[in-house]
Amino acid sequence: MTYESFSSLVHLILDDYSTHKHANVQAWLGKHPRFQLHFTPTSSSWLNLVERWFRELTEKALCRGVFHSGPDLIASIEAYLNAHNKNPKPFVWTASAEDILTKVGRGRVALQAVTQN
């Protein structure tokens, strides 16, 4: 793979829902190989915090913005980061270890059911 072809790849990180399995989606992906799909595990609750952070970025800095160029978008994101980092507040993990382990157990059962079929 050349640098040019590698640098034009678009990596998409998706929840592991079945939408991507639809024939129309598969056909489109077959015609557009630069789009590479990556799926989050069903039991990866830490990604919820990442999604929450991006939701806040979107709602507070991007949602109503008008960006005429990539540098305009980058400047808005950096301004939000600078303001946010002046008084950062950590995301609080509220799930107990027991809740997490229960979900992991359910995920393992589901994974075993899929791999055995």
Tens of pLDDT, residues 39-85:
877 666 667 777 888 899 999 989 888 999 888 999 999 999 999 99
* In a domain? residue 116: no
Q: Which residues contact 52 (CB under 8 A, 6 or more apart)?
A: 91
Q: Are residues 57 and 82 in the same domain?
A: yes
* In a domain? residue 115: no
The residue among 63 and 13 whose pLDDT is bigger is 63
Q: Are residues 28 and 68 in the same domain?
A: no
Q: What is the pLDDT of residue 50?
A: 79
Number of domains present in the structure of the chain: 2
Residue closest to 49 by CA, chosen among 93, 104, 107, 11: 93
What's the mean per-residue pLDDT of the chain? 82
* In a domain? residue 106: no
Which domain does 16 fall in, by range? 1-42
Query: pTM value?
Result: 0.47
Confidence band of 99 (pLDDT split at 50, 70, 90): confident
Q: Are residues 49 and 93 in the same domain?
A: yes
Distance separating alpha carbons of residues 34 and 13, to the nearest angstrom: 14
* In a domain? residue 102: no
